[in-house]
Amino acid sequence: MKNSTQGITKDIVLIGGGHTHALLIKRLGMNPIASTRVTLISEQTLTPYSGMLPGFVAGHYSYLDTHIDLNRLCQWSNVRYIRGTAIGLDVNTQQVLIDSQPPISFDQLSIDVGSTPDLSIPGARDYAVGVKPVSQFGSIWSKLLESSIDATGDWGVVGAGAGGVELVLAMAHRLREKQGLQFHLVASGARVLPGYPEKVIRKVETALAKHSITVHSNFRVSSVNEKGLVSNAGKKIPLDKSIWCTGAAAPKWFASTGLGLSERGFIGVNEFLQSVSHANVFAVGDCSDMLSDPRPKAGVYAVRQAPFLEKNLRAVCSGGSLQPVKLQSDFLSLLSLGDRSAVGCKAGWTAAGKWVWKLKDSIDTTFMRKLNDPGDKKAMVNTVGGSEMPMHCAGCGSKLGPDLIAGNLSDLPIFKREGVTPALSQAEDASLWQVASGKLAVQSIDGFRSFSDDLGRFGRICVNHALSDLYAMGATPVSAQVWINLAHAHPRIQKRDHRLLMAAIATALEEQQVTLAGGHSSEGTETHVALVANGEIDQNSIWRKNNVQPGDTLVLTKPLGTGLILAADMQAKAPAVAIDAAFQSMLQSNASAASALAQLKPSSVTDVTGFGLLGHLLEMLSGSGCTASISTAAIPLLSGTEDLSRLGFQSTLYPHLQVYLNQCQVQDGVDQHLLDILLDPQTSGGLLIAIDNTQVDQLLTQCPAAAVIGDVLHAEMDNKADTKIIEITV
């Protein structure tokens, strides 16, 4: 489905990457729903598997071992992935509201965002650390570990259910060598693990004693302060850290959605996992309460909801019958005991020891492997669409209908620049632009086919990429016109995509004080976007591309790697850390770097895009009579870039750029994979600057992410055609 919505007539949107949704996405990747696009909205690319959280805290697993890579899973399953934070719903217009992004429309919606910590007890918000949402506990634990380096005193876990017991044992095991730390477990009842078999409770109590953990029974916390906990009976427990592992609370934004909620504020659902108030909304996992059959907030139930959610989403899309959820009340419960041992029980059976931990480890790692390494994407059958589509015209017959785009343009945020008359609202054939006196007009065009189904982020990147040519000349962007070619789809789907894409483009232009002056829209087999960027510049202030001077220092403002990361992503092989780094870089405009550079006097500037670093550096050196020396060790790389290069990933443009190496002299010892990265085509890459070395420190102060990568040298060469003009060193 990537870059094509051929045959799509319906939108299913999933909010949150919880266990149920992760399994659903895998199942839909194996058997898609005909004529239906599925979209996942998640604020994090890596989402934790709660079953392995104690093992992560104890140090048995790494961060990546315990987290599901949602982007990779979505790529494999042909699910559109949008990284963003849902902050509300408009159930009337059927839209998901996303923080700092355009809304996403849906026909069917499913919510799996987990829960938040219940910090309603006085002082808890100020002095306690919540374990939930689990998606944020990785960073919380990292901070706790850092604070433990020189720590002494008392740390306590409040809540003696399964989660609290596993957590305090894991913490005590991980920090067992910290002689000055004492751990506490606070239980509201007489003993730990209420509802568990006596044999399990005794095994856990033995483990707590082994780890020297003090258990405080019958202690109902009434308030928290900087010194510790106070009970409703007036008793006190002095604590330096209070980790809250008690009852869950619903996300606050649920209250304004208009959905029917349970008494506790969670989304109320029926036996089909449907909202009790809106039949086109489903909710699963900890964020929902099944009113007809209440269950504890436990990951095992979330996992078992996935097949029922899949069947019922298929049913509502096809008009079939819904299937009621049937969850068994008894299940295998395996609790980690800190070290590599565990206790388990089911239906009266109880066991403990190292082999039980190995059983739990096997179950958990198999579950993660199923999601993080689903198989070779090439073996999948592309079943997108699943239905015949009518013939689509070419030429002007491929334009999007006026009724489709009209309503999308009226609400766009348009920056009003003096001297520019947009054609959007005037129904003119072209926009008007009055160039300021004494300045030259500058114009550039750039664009490409979509590399992401997240059209909001893609639109912003297109703007940054197109305006970069103007920033590289020292020009001030004034206006832009946009051409959008949307993939064939039902008009209702195209209207949604057009609105989303145009809103993102308009917002990115507004942020850079550029007027959206007009544009054109059409449809085709794939989604493409291109922008014509117009700007102004004082004729005496133009930064020329090939005006380098001997003695100049070469500075690069962004790291390299977007080309091969996107290539790996197309095969569902790019790790989350690489994808996040690539998008963070591409979403960064070169406006701030150009602004900092405007206060200096660079010799030469260009932006690093399709020809890679080497290609654009050769352009700068062309005709200058200079050579250059660059160090591979000094060149900044995006996270994951070098690893992916070693795995053989590269852009399809890479073979055509290898000719640039004929003009390079490569020092012995330069890693071939680093050499390959120098030819990696960049999308929305940084600026490559040649500047007098007396100005470098000032530039780096104003552009902290920039890096010195080499120098411009006097040419020591004759006019032979095979002269090497770039020296590449280790």
Partners of 605 in the β-ladder = 689
What single string gives the DSSP state of each residue in 634-689?
GS-B-TTHHHHHHTT---TTHHHHGGGGGGEEEPTT--HHHHHHTT---SS--EEE
For 283-300, b/e burial (b = at least 16 CB within 10 A) is: bbbbbbbbeeeebebbbb
Alpha-carbon distance 532 to 114, whole Å?
Answer: 44
Quick one: which H or E segment has residue 149? none
Alpha-carbon distance 342 to 359, whole Å?
Answer: 9
User: With helix as H, strand as E and coil as C, how does 37-61 read?
Assistant: EEEEEECCCEEECHHHHHHHHHCCC
* Burial bucket for residue 263 (CB in 10 Å: 0-12, 13-18, 19+): exposed
Residue 609 token pair? 């895009």
In a 3-state reduction of DSSP, which class is residue 541? Answer: coil
Q: How far is CA 663 from CA 313, 364, 551, 604, 607, in A?
A: 58, 52, 20, 20, 20
Alpha-carbon distance 98 to 103, whole Å?
Answer: 6
Quick one: which H or E segment has residue 110? strand 108-111
Mention every residue, 6+ apart, whose C-beta is less than 8 A from residue 219. 186, 187, 188, 229, 231, 235, 237
Residue 104: CA count within 13 A, CB half-sphere: 34
* Burial bucket for residue 351 (CB in 10 Å: 0-12, 13-18, 19+): middle
Counting as low any pLDDT under 70, the low residues of the chain are 1-6, 299, 376-412, 414-434, 716-723
Closest of 269, 224, 265, 268 to residue 242, by C-alpha:
224
CA angle 600, 606, 611 (to 5 degrees): 160
Alpha-carbon distance 132 to 128, whole Å?
Answer: 12
Alpha-carbon distance 83 to 64, whole Å?
Answer: 18
Closest of 451, 425, 457 to residue 527, by C-alpha:
451
Amino acid in position 33: I
Mention every residue, 6+ apart, whose C-beta is less than 8 A from residue 319. none
CB 105 within 8 A of CB 91: no
The confidence score (pLDDT) of residue 438 equals: 75
CB 499 within 8 A of CB 455: no
Alpha-carbon distance 504 to 499, whole Å?
Answer: 9
Does 396 participate in catalysis according to the annotation? Answer: yes
Q: How many CB atoms lie within 10 A of CB 22?
A: 30
Catalytic residue among 74, 245, 396, 703: 396
Alpha-carbon distance 104 to 321, whole Å?
Answer: 27
The confidence score (pLDDT) of residue 420 equals: 58
Alpha-carbon distance 381 to 690, whole Å?
Answer: 49
Sheet with 515-524: list strands edge to edge: 439-449, 528-538, 476-487, 515-524
CB 686 within 8 A of CB 556: yes
Backbone angles phi, psi at 430, to 5 degrees: -155, 155
Q: How many CB atoms lie within 10 A of CB 550?
A: 14
Residue 67 token pair? 């987290």
Amino acid in position 414: I
The confidence score (pLDDT) of residue 217 equals: 96
Place of tokens 């819904």: 322
Alpha-carbon distance 255 to 38, whole Å?
Answer: 26
CB 651 within 8 A of CB 568: no
Amino acid in position 466: A
The confidence score (pLDDT) of residue 329 equals: 72
**H-state helical runs in 196-274:** 198-210
List, in order of start, the domains of the chain with CATH numbers: 10-114+250-329 (3.50.50.60), 117-249 (3.50.50.60), 397-538 (3.30.1330.10), 552-729 (3.90.650.10)
The confidence score (pLDDT) of residue 408 equals: 63
The confidence score (pLDDT) of residue 384 equals: 42
CA dihedral 516, 519, 523, 524 (to 10 degrees): -90
Alpha-carbon distance 367 to 308, whole Å?
Answer: 18
Q: How many CB atoms lie within 10 A of CB 713?
A: 16
Closest of 458, 447, 650 to residue 3, by C-alpha:
458
The confidence score (pLDDT) of residue 136 equals: 79
Residue 685 token pair? 């890459």
In a 3-state reduction of DSSP, which class is residue 148? Answer: coil
CB 652 within 8 A of CB 645: no
Backbone angles phi, psi at 345, to 5 degrees: -155, 150
Closest of 689, 684, 712, 713 to residue 699, by C-alpha:
689
List for the chain the helix, strand, coil content (%; round to 5).
35, 25, 40
Place of tokens 């999948």: 380
Q: How many CB atoms lie within 10 A of CB 329?
A: 6
Place of tokens 């095992």: 300
